């Protein structure tokens, strides 16, 4: 039974892995910004870039689900 769902399990595991990576990147960036005493404008730029990268990853997943559901 497990072999039937192996592709789905791998896809979910990869998505969770990337989510964890984004979380740890966010924690590292937060620490660097805090210790470097970066001004507010710089923090906004850094967090917006991180958010856009994460949003692109989520959008890719949604498009992939939609594309596989239609085809």
pLDDT in tens, 51-66: 898 888 889 888 988 8
Q: What is the pLDDT of residue 13?
A: 92
Any residues with CB less than 8 A from the CB of 42 and at least 6 apart, and which?
A: 33
Q: 39: alpha, beta or left, given left = phi > 0 and alpha = psi -120 to 50?
A: beta
Confidence (pTM): 0.63
Choose between 20 and 57: higher pLDDT: 20
Q: What is the pLDDT of residue 62?
A: 87
């Amino acid at each position: 039974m497990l072999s039937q769902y192996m592709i789905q399990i791998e896809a979910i595991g990869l998505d969770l892995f990337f989510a964890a990576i984004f979380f740890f990147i966010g924690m590292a960036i937060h620490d660097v910004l805090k210790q470097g005493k970066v001004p507010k404008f710089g923090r906004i730029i850094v967090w917006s870039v991180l958010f856009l990268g994460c949003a692109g990853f989520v959008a890719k997943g949604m498009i992939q689900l939609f594309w596989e559901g239609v085809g």
